[in-house]
Every structure is written in C-alpha cells, then in structure tokens.
Chains A and B, each alone.
Chain A
Amino acid sequence: MVANKSQRRIANSVRGMTVAMTLLLTTVALPLRAQSDLSGSWLLQEDEDVMERIAGPVADDFTGIPLNDSGRALGLSYSPSSLSEPERICRQEPLFSNAIGPWNLNIWPQVNPATRQVVAWHLSGTESHSEMTIWMDGRPQPSKDALHLRGGFTTGTWKGDMLIAQSTHLEAGILRRSGAFSSDKTTMTTTFIPHGDLLAAAYIINDPIYLTEPYPYTVTYVRTDRPVGRDWDLCIVGYEGVDEGQVPFYLPGKNPLVGQMKKIYNIPEEASLGGAQTMYPAFRDKLKAQYLKLYSTFPKKCTLYCTTSFGPPPPRKGSGKGSGN
C-alpha cells in the first residue's frame, strides 16, 4: 500500500513532466505564430508623394483619386477651416492617415502569455492617431450596426511573409488633405510586405459612396534600431476658434482654391478634379496637346515646391538666387 502510494506520486510527477516537456517543445518549435517579425521601429521613406505627406497637397489636387460626382462635390465644398470645429478636429486622422501622413511607424505584437501565440499586431504612427490593431485570433466581425471608430476593426492573415489586414467599421475621414474624403462604408485592405530591412505597406481602399473603383496607395519604411518619435500634433477635441453653429464650407462653384493646380503645375481642372480615368495611362492622350503647348512657356527654373526639403532651391552657379521654395 505504501509502495503503491509512492509509485502513484512518482507516476503523477512523471506524467506532469511529460506534459510539461511536450508543451515546452511545442512552444520552442513555434515560438510565435507570426510568419515574419514585423515588430520594431520603421522610418518613413520620403521619396514619393512628399507634398501629400509633409507640406500638404495643393488645395484642388484630386489627381489619381477615383472620385465619383458625390466625392468630388464633397471635396470642392471642403474648407480647411472646418478642422477648427471640435466635431471635426480629428477628421484628418482616420486609420488611412497612417499611409498619407509624414509619420514613422511602431509595430509591436500582443502575445498571449499562456500560449505564446500572437493575438494581435499593433501599429501606430503618433500618439494622436488611432492605433491599427490587427486581430490574429480569428475573432468574429462585430455586427454591421456596431459603432464605427477611427481605428475601425481589423483582422489579419498571413500569406507567406505578407501580413494582410482587412479593416471595416471605419469612420469617415480624409483620403487626401485637399478635401477628398472616404465614407464610413469604406473597407480597407492593407498588405504589409517585408523585404529585409524594407517594409512596404500597400493600401487598397474601397468606398461605395465616394469612389468608383478601388484606390491603391503605397508607402515604404526602412527598419531602424532607434525608437521613432510619436509626439505629433495631438488631436485633442476642444475649442479652436470657430463660433458655435458655424460650419466653414464652400458652396458649389464658389471654392476660391480651385485653379491652384493649373497655376502651379499647369494641370487643367479636367485632371486636377480626379476621377478613375486620371489613374490610367490613356488619360495622358487627353492632356498631351494642351500641356505641351504651354510647356515651352514654363519658367526655366522651378520656383515653387521644387525640392525635397521645401526650402528655397539651392543657389546655382550662373542662375542667381532661387526665388521661392
């Protein structure tokens, strides 16, 4: 009887060890169910669309956005002063603004301590921006009537080393700071593609309300060992100077900012006001004759929005001083 008790004790402890060893081996073999490790700090590469990401686009620049008539009308009614209203102060910071803003990226996993599985990936550009939380645990979609938040609801899957994130339940917000907006019916697919120290994030926006077809947009980052700053124009709801009851906007045909693209870049309204046709090569045929006729009259030196730094063009031998930025 005593011997049996002792054997049972030993048997129990052996069984426990066996289970523990098996669990240990499983977790060592598959430490995280991430296909590639995206975690860390990523520096934005500012080699394309810098006007969009940093200085801000020209006021009537809707080129290359597949806007429908409603989207275009909304864009032309937009006054940047509306951002001073408490209700609209964060309107420029929806989830998509991570793509079109000047921000670096922090990415970190949320790991279940018991299973060591990645439950979610978190992505954030700044403190004021909604974090993108990509749920990897197969949780169900919220009800279609659930509240739409700036951060939306996002689930992720892996395809090889690519992390594919599907976002729904988004708030309406900007597509471009010139005033192109997406509706709260928008869905967004974001594919994160690592190539060594490069990370491309490819966004495809679908909006049945303001767009006629998918709108792709891409941004590239380079991995850095240093932490990247997150303090940037905090989006705090508060009084910003617009009287209660006032909604800054422009009536149809009364937007004084229309014509800037023509003035600065010689881009006619047919192109600057966007639409799906402006995304494709065939559209160039429509512009060619008109554009080239005027091209010979362009100043020989660019005088506005010409350099990477937005500063005045550097002095050039024999050409005098730069006359603008």
Chain B
Amino acid sequence: MTRRFILSSTARIALVLFVSLAAQTAVQAQGRGRPSGPPPTARAAAPIDLTGYWVSVVTMDWNYRMVTPRPGDYEDVPLNAAGIKVMDAWDPAKDEAAGEQCKSYGAPAIMRVPEHLHITWQGDQVMKMETDAGEQTRLFHFVKSDAVQGPRTWQGYSLAEWQIQHRGIDTGGGRPARPGAPVWGNLKVTTTDFKAGYLRKNGIPYSDHAQLVEYYDLLQEGTGYQMLLVTSSVTDPVYLTKTFIVNSNFKRLSSAAGWEPSACSARW
C-alpha cells in the first residue's frame, strides 16, 4: 500500500516536472519559432519602423557640428600623429578644386551633419536613407551582395541586420512580457569600402581602411516625442588611436516640411 502510494506520488512529481519543462520550452520558444516556408523579407521582419522624415537635434558638440570648427581643433577625437598631420594640411580650396567637397559627408560623418533624413524602403531587402544636407544616399543591404564593387563612394557599402529582441515589450511594473507580446529590436549597420574623408568639416581625417558600425534605436518619450538614436563607432587603424564613438539624435517629423536639399560644401 505504502509502496504503491510512493510510486503514484513519484509519478505526480514526474508529471509536474514534465509540464513545467514543457511550459518553459514553450515560453522560451515564443517568437523564435517560424512557420515553415521562406524567411520573411527584411521589410516584413522589421521590428521597428524607421521610415519617414527625421531632423537632427543638435544638443551636443554644437560648435563642431553647427558651424565649421576652427582650423586645428580636434577636441574629443582620438586622433594620432598621422591624423594630426593630415588635419593640419586641410585646405578646403584644394578639396573644391579636386571636386571633393563631399569629404565631410561620407558615411562615418554624415549622421553628425545637421540635416533632415528621409528613410524609405527600396524593395523588400534594401532600406534607403537620403539626406538633404549634401544630398547623400545611403543604402542598407539586408542581403549581402557578392557583386558589390566598382569605385568606392562616400557612403561605401552597408550591410544591415535587424537585431530582434523576442522578449518583447514589458507591460509595466517590471513584469515580464507575456508570451506573444509584440517584439522589439534595433537596426545594426556595418559600413565599409567608402572613400577616405573627414569626420568634421575642418579636415579631421578618416582613412579608407576605416570601418563604421552603427546601431539605430527608436525611443519614445511620454509626451509622444519620438527620437531616433544613432550610435556610431568608427574604427580606423590609420588615423585614430581608439574607436571613436558618438551618438546622433533625430526627431521624427510628420511631413517633409523643412526638407531643403543643399549641395556639399567644403567650407560650411
């Protein structure tokens, strides 16, 4: 009698264990499981919507971004001796003569330029970002192309990936997200193969060996203020002593108001 009781109790424990483990597995698998078939396109898989118009909000490094910095001023930038030498030789007239007025609008610098952004989809696997300042276009490729190449451009080649956080959105009060809650995430963009240019208008250089890694995060503030935060890391073995990390803030706009395309300028 006692033995039978213990056996049935053991079975009960086993059942609890099984149910608990199955429940955990189900919870952990939330969002990871996909129906069979082709994977969704980058456009369909987007966990956040970056499309639309945005404007720079310049509250930091104002005198290096809103005006042309003083010649020889490289405060905040971990420039090495070779970089200082190049900066000291900066001559905007020479850049103009060479048709290189866009040197301070290349991928590692463009998000720091005070500007409007227009972000759209070009098909299902490429996101397009246009700027009014300098009239630049960046293409974020979600599928790597082997046939990238051709001459280098100011914006180089950008490979993009969604970093999807399946753990979802908290419902408040520190409670964990419910299974099936909406996903959240961010965009990671790695850019290479661009032409050498300037991190700032006054000739602080980056080389064509540099690499740019960016994270695009969408922030919402209680009053409805929506912000795009771009965290940029520039690594350059030629001119920098360490990775150069800066943040650029953009405010969402409801229309194209303020969009004023302007050509690159080597002086302003």
Assess the B76–A198 pair: CB atoms within 8 A.
no
State the Cβ distance, A79 to closest chain B Cβ, in Å.
Answer: 23
What's the nearest-Cβ distance from chain B to residue A287, in Å?
6
A65 to B244 CA separation, bound complex (whole angstroms): 25
A160 at the interface (CB under 8 A from B): yes
Cβ of B71: which chain A residues have Cβ within 8 Å of it? Answer: 298-302
Min distance, Cβ A121 to any Cβ of chain B, angstroms: 10
Q: Which of A260-287 contact B (CB under 8 A)?
A: 261, 265-267, 271, 278-284, 287
Cβ–Cβ < 8 Å partners of A187 in chain B: 222
Contact of A242 with B by CB under 8 A: no
B165: chain A residues at CB < 8 Å are 35, 160-161
Per-residue interface assignment for chain A, residues 289 to 301, with 1 indicating a CB less than 8 Å from any chain B CB and 0 otherwise: 0011001001111
B74 touches A63 (CB 8 A): no
B173 lies within 8 A of A137 (CB): yes
Asked if A305 is an interface residue, CB under 8 A from chain B, the answer is yes
Complex: chain A residue closest to B57, CB-CB: A279
A159 to B: closest C-beta gap in Å: 5
Is the Cβ of B2 less than 8 Å from the Cβ of A10? Answer: yes
Contact with B along A226-260 (1 / 0, CB 8 A): 00000000000000000000000000000000000
Residues of A within 8 A of B70 (CB): 265-266, 298-299, 302, 306
Q: B59 touching A279 by the CB < 8 A rule? A: yes
B110 smallest CB distance to A (angstroms): 13
CB-nearest residue of chain A to B174: A136
Taking the nearest CB of chain A, how far is it from the CB of B160, in angstroms? Answer: 14
Which residues of the partner chain A approach B268 to less than 8 Å between Cβ atoms? Answer: 284, 288, 291-292
Give Cα A133–Cα B67 distance, bound, in whole angstroms. Answer: 39
Q: Looking at B28, B70, B217, which has the most chain A CB atoms within 10 Å of its CB?
A: B70
Task: From the candidates A22, A65, A166, name the one contacting B222 in the complex (CB within 8 A).
Answer: A166
Within 8 Å of chain A (Cβ to Cβ): is B39? no
CB–CB A33/B174 < 8 A: yes
Question: Which residue of B133, B174, B176 is within 8 Å of A281 (Cβ)?
Answer: B133
B225 — which chain A residues lie within 8 A by C-beta? 204, 214
Give A158 to B167 CA distance when docked, in angstroms.
Answer: 9
Q: Are A50 and B258 in contact (CB under 8 A)?
A: no
Taking CB atoms, residues of chain A closer than 8 Å to B56 are 280-281
- For B112-143 the 0/1 string (1 means CB < 8 A from A) is 00111000000000000000010000000000
Bits for A1-40, please: 1 = Cβ < 8 Å to B, else 0.
0010011001100100110011001100110010100000
Contact A21 B17 (CB under 8 A): yes
What residues of chain A lie closer than 8 Å to B183, measured between beta carbons?
160
Complex alpha-carbon distance, A300 and B72, angstroms:
7
Question: Complex: how many Å from CA A204 to CA B133?
Answer: 26
On whether A301 and B72 interact (CB within 8 A), knowing A47-B246, A204-B219, A218-B229, the answer reads yes
Contact A195 B13 (CB under 8 A): no
B45 within 8 A of A: no
Tell me the complex Cα distance, A305–B70, Å: 10
Complex interface: chain A residues within 8 A of B176 (CB)? 30, 33, 35, 158
Report the Cα distance A14→B265, complex, angstroms: 79
Judge whether B247 and A220 touch: CB under 8 Å: yes
In the assembly, what is the distance between CA of A46 and CA of B13, in Å?
56
| Binary flags per residue of A175-219, CB closer than 8 Å to B gives 1, else 0 | 000000000000101010101001010101010000000111111
For the complex of A and B, 7 pairs with smallest distance between CB atoms: A138-B173, A160-B184, A160-B165, A136-B174, A302-B72, A281-B114, A158-B170
Interfacial residues, chain A to chain B (CB-CB below 8 A): 3, 6-7, 10-11, 14, 17-18, 21-22, 25-26, 29-30, 33, 35, 45-52, 61, 63-65, 117-119, 135-138, 156-162, 166, 187, 189, 191, 193, 195, 198, 200, 202, 204, 206, 214-220, 222, 261, 265-267, 271, 278-284, 287-288, 291-292, 295, 298-302, 305-308, 313-314, 316, 319
- 28 A–B contacts, CB within 8 A, in A order: A7-B2, A21-B13, A22-B16, A25-B21, A25-B24, A35-B165, A35-B167, A50-B76, A136-B173, A137-B173, A156-B174, A158-B170, A187-B222, A191-B219, A195-B215, A198-B245, A200-B231, A204-B221, A216-B227, A218-B249, A279-B58, A281-B55, A284-B67, A292-B68, A292-B267, A299-B71, A306-B73, A306-B74
Contacts A3-B1, A10-B9, A306-B74 supplied; 19 other A-B pairs, CB < 8 Å: A3-B2, A21-B13, A25-B20, A29-B24, A29-B28, A48-B60, A49-B76, A50-B75, A138-B172, A159-B169, A160-B167, A195-B231, A202-B229, A215-B59, A267-B67, A287-B66, A292-B267, A301-B71, A306-B75
